[in-house]
Amino acid sequence: MYQSQGMSCNTLNLENITLLDKFSLQEYKESLSKSSNITSNLLSKEVWDKNTNNLDERTMNYILSASKEVLKNPNNDISNTWKSDLSNIDPLRIFQSSLPNCDKCTYIETNTTSTSIGISCQCDYNQHYNDNTSLKPLHRESSQDSRSCGERLLFKPTFTRPRVKRPIDASKSVPNCNRPSEMDVDLKPVPTDEAADDEERAHKSNVAKITFKTAKEALLSSNPAARRTLGASRKAQAKFISPMLGAQEKQELAEPAVGDDRLRNIDPKMIELIENEIIDKGTPVGWEDIAGLEHAKSVIQEAVVWPLLRPDIFTGLRRPPRGILLFGPPGTGKTLIGKCIASQCKATFFSISASSLTSKWIGDGEKMVRALFAVARCHQPAVVFMDEIDSLLSARGDSEHEASRRIKTEFLVQFDGTNTGEDERLLVVGATNRPQELDDAARRRLVKRLYIPLPGLEARHQIIYNLLSRERHSLSSNDMRLVSEQCEGYSGADVRSLCAEAAMGPVRALTDITSISASQVRPVNVQDFQSALQRVRPSVSQDDLGQYVKWNETYGHGA
Ligand SMILES: Nc1ncnc2c1ncn2[C@@H]1O[C@H](COP(=O)(O)OP(=O)(O)OP(=O)(O)O)[C@@H](O)[C@H]1O
């Protein structure tokens, strides 16, 4: 391949520095992404992004086989082993071993960056690293090293595959370098056109092997619509395509466009997590599902629902608030109201607990907030329900952790919508059991602050009635009223627990549950409720209630 031209050393065996066949790995990556296997996709992307400059051929092969393994068996532990192995790769070592071993060349030190190395040599290294090599000098420095007599060059390996190899010009070769035998110049003949063609063909065939498509992939690439019927899973930023004919057009409006600009700098893993876990796809909630709370319902209807439905009418002074606050004891229906707003406005409902931003996504909370709002903006109209918002927007103190402060700042930036236009249809619904802990900035932004109290007698009656309507029971209207009176001070969630406990009564009376049919289980009766009342106690104390009432009088939205 190279002619020594009588030189004792100085030319480089290119095979040794063609460390990474970037093209092949790219091809493989693309074939993975067509395969809708998210695990291997993300892993290969991660490896690719982190190591694209640092891999040798052996490692690359390892990655390819590991990727295939992960692709075949996504739940295999190999993904972890693979990742930790990669983190042990020393790019410098790989780089050093790829350099020519000339006895007048001295590697003097690692320098500047982890992928740069200082080389001191009497040879003209420009000749070592001619155009055909993949090593490009970053910059030159005057040598500080007494052993060196030449320039010190810093090299950054950029591993691209030389497609057609050229001989080194003899006139530029460097004299007086003795090259150890194992690194001897490759003395294969200079490639003819035919040999170059052969090599090109071999390369293409390798690429073809790497980009081999399964029957399913081939079908999908020739007929993308077939994806609908094949039940392929989605990639992080991909649109959901309904298998129902004609449903696709309807969805175009609701789903974010693939590759939406607003998601450009957002981590795909976070987008996927938000799409899968934070978007609430539960059953829609209607106003009639929420017992009592008439005041809160009418304020929300007017201030939030109508404007989200008719943004053209609610402009200027009528412009809706960006955020509302629902405060009150636990289990009183705050989440239910958030869901109901989203259902009424046909909006996407994002539900997240603020405390999880500081605990579950340690170190990533800030990014998560940015991702959440970016995805929500792609799904407009959208309702972002932030439970326990006090843990995110509590009054600042000296002891406040830097990470929490950053999350809070990011939230306020996103909330104010500095990056977006005025016409966005995004509502933040904050919920808290500790409104007194919110700081001024948060209070000011959540302009409508609605007290969600414990259910009154009528509301408790309605909750019991609604829940029992789905069960076999023998309670009369009077029985239900009696039970409603007896559970004064219970939250909606407590009333639900009471009903669930009562519903266990008929089952507990059974002697042999295995042999009885479902229709033989007796209906729930009022005695079951009396027993349940002994077991299920209210979860909210009178003292707590006093605090809410006081805060409501000061900051709440009056009746
Ligand atoms: N007003 C209500 N009408 C009907 N059901 C209610 C009502 N309040 C509470 N519930 C019942 O209690 C359950 C819990 O309510 P929800 O999660 O909305 O309370 P929350 O106020 O958000 O509680 P937390 O503050 O603990 O998050 C609901 O799923 C529902 O079954």
Q: Backbone phi, then psi, for 428, in 5-degree steps? A: -100, 125
Of 17, 18, 15, 48, give the one whose Cα is nearest residue 31.
48
Instruction: Looking at the structure, tell me whether residues 471 and 374 fall in a common domain.
Output: no
User: Helices 57-72 & 78-87, crossing angle to 10 degrees?
Assistant: 160
Of 465, 453, 334, give the one whose Cα is nearest residue 390.
334
Q: What is the Å distance from ligand 1's center to 460 Cα?
A: 12
Atom of ligand 1 nearest to the CA of 290: 3
* Residue 381 located in a structural domain: yes
Q: In whole angstroms, give the CA distance from residue 313 to residue 427.
A: 17
Say what the pLDDT of residue 52 is: 56
* Residue 435 located in a structural domain: yes
**What does the DSSP 8-state code read for residue 218?**
H
Buried b (16+ CB within 10 A) or exposed e, 216-246: ebeebeeeeeebeeeebebbbbbbebeeeee
Say what the pLDDT of residue 449 is: 92
Residue nearest to atom 6 of ligand 1 (CA): 492
**pTM of the predicted structure, to 2 decimals:** 0.56
Report the number of distinct structural domains present in the chain: 2
* Residue 364 located in a structural domain: yes
Instruction: Looking at the structure, tell me whether residues 394 and 322 fall in a common domain.
Output: yes
Say what the pLDDT of residue 250 is: 39
Residue nearest to atom 9 of ligand 1 (CA): 492
Peptide bond into 381 cis (omega under 30): yes
Instruction: Looking at the structure, tell me whether residues 324 and 418 fall in a common domain.
Output: yes
Instruction: Looking at the structure, tell me whether residues 474 and 391 fall in a common domain.
Output: no
Instruction: Looking at the structure, tell me whether residues 508 and 426 fall in a common domain.
Output: no
**Per the structure block, which two tokens stand in for 378?**
């792609």
Atom of ligand 1 nearest to the CA of 291: 3
User: Ligand 1 pocket by C-beta < 6 Å: which residues?
Assistant: 290-293, 330-336, 387, 431, 433, 455, 459, 463, 492-493, 496
Say what the pLDDT of residue 330 is: 93
Instruction: Looking at the structure, tell me whether residues 394 and 502 fall in a common domain.
Output: no
* Residue 9 located in a structural domain: no
* Residue 204 located in a structural domain: no
* Residue 507 located in a structural domain: yes
What's the CATH number where 406 sits?
3.40.50.300
Using an 8 Å Cβ cutoff, are 34 and 213 in contact?
yes
Give the residue ranges of the chain where pLDDT is below 70.
1-262, 264, 277, 358-363, 395-400, 418-422, 559
Instruction: Looking at the structure, tell me whether residues 284 and 382 fall in a common domain.
Output: yes
Domain with 344 in it: 268-451
List pLDDT tens digits, range 310-346.
Answer: 888 888 888 888 889 999 999 999 999 988 888 888 8
Q: What is the Å distance from ligand 1's center to 457 Cα?
A: 16
Say what the pLDDT of residue 463 is: 93
* Residue 350 located in a structural domain: yes
Of 299, 551, 332, give the one whose Cα is nearest residue 456.
332
List pLDDT tens digits, range 486-541.
Answer: 999 999 999 999 999 999 988 887 777 788 888 888 889 999 999 999 999 998 88
ipTM reported for the complex, 2 dp: 0.97
Say what the pLDDT of residue 492 is: 93
What's the CATH number where 510 sits?
1.10.8.60
- HEC assignment per residue over 396-460: CCCCCCHHHHHHHHHHHHHHHCCCCCCCCCEEEEEEECCHHHECHHHHHHEEEEEECCCCCHHHH
Instruction: Looking at the structure, tell me whether residues 496 and 443 fall in a common domain.
Output: no
